[in-house]
Amino acid sequence: AQTVTQSQPEMSVQEAETVTLSCTYDTSENNYYLFWYKQPPSRQMILVIRQEAYKQQNATENRFSVNFQKAAKSFSLKISDSQLGDTAMYFCAFMKHFAGGGADGLTFGKGTHLIIQP
Amino acid sequence: ETGVTQSPTHLIKTRGQQVTLRCSSQSGHNTVSWYQQALGQGPQFIFQYYREEENGRGNFPPRFSGLQFPNYSSELNVNALELDDSALYLCASSLGSTGRESTDTQYFGPGTRLTVL
């Protein structure tokens, strides 16, 4: 079974600063996918970024980028030029690669509450 | 493109009752996954349906059951409700296919908040 650990329950930064959220995971799988989801107070879980484990290049989406270290089983999220709207719970999630069907869903960490201060 | 929708938004039930939650998948998606999110926790995988068949299940008892319909919408049924079933129930849809990579990104609905008294 996989586990995902987010060691920062809460973080607070000033608007426009850069912030990095940490995530580590444990798995015996070699093929998998990693995700960061954002959950604002509205509760809707929103995809932020996705990383395929077989890709060495770190994924980026506008102000969001990841630092994926497969050997260390680390997957951190960097938010540049943070904005008030970035305030939310951020969840790191793992999904095993099933070639041929079947699924065991996403495994989530406990989340990091990110607060962007004006 | 229509996103994932869930109904109802909120629900209050008493212990021992049964509840049905509903989910409409995003246009073009054939796979639906259900998650339970307790307060202050990350979501926990309940099960997944692909083309009307259960395709995977997490560590939840049999009183949690589901259905997927030909239009790929889905229901989550919980029997004999317990106080610990109080949670946010999230539905996510994706485009999956057996025989190939089943790794498509899941897109979530707004959730149903269930309170069991």
pLDDT for A50-106, tens place per residue?
Answer: 998 888 899 999 999 999 999 999 999 999 999 999 999 999 999 987 766 556 689
Biggest alpha carbon distance in chain B?
Answer: 44
Burial class (CB in 10 A: 0-12, 13-18, 19+), B25: buried
Chain B CA closest to residue A33: B103
Contact (CB, 8 A) for B50 and B31:
yes
Q: For residue A25, what pLDDT is reported?
A: 97
Least confident of A28-37, A92-101, B17-26, B91-100: B91-100
Q: How confident is the model at residue B101 (pLDDT cuts 50, 70, 90)?
A: very low
Q: Report pLDDT digits (tens) over B51-79.
A: 888 988 999 999 999 999 998 899 999 99
Spatial separation of the C-alpha atoms in residues A94 and A108, rounded to whole Å: 7
Whether B103 and A45 lie within 8 Å, measured CB to CB: no
Q: Is A71 helix (H, G, I), strand (E, B) or coil?
A: coil
Given CB atoms, is A110 within the 8 Å cutoff of chain B?
A: yes
Q: For residue A14, what pLDDT is reported?
A: 97
Chain B hits for A37, Cβ within 8 Å: 108
Strands A10-14 and A112-117: parallel
Biggest alpha carbon distance in chain A?
Answer: 49
Side-chain-side CA neighbours of residue A54 (13 Å)? 6
Chain B hits for A4, Cβ within 8 Å: 42
Q: How confident is the model at residue A114 (pLDDT cuts 50, 70, 90)?
A: very high
Contact (CB, 8 A) for A39 and A46:
yes
Q: Report pLDDT digits (tens) over A19-52.
A: 999 999 999 988 889 999 999 988 889 999 999 8
Using the predicted structure, report yes or no on whether residue B103 has a pLDDT greater than 70. no
Whether A102 and B55 lie within 8 Å, measured CB to CB: yes
Residue B59 CB coordination number (10 Å)? 8
Using the predicted structure, report yes or no on whether residue B28 has a pLDDT greater than 90. no
More confident residue, B90 or A55: B90
Chain A hits for B88, Cβ within 8 Å: 43
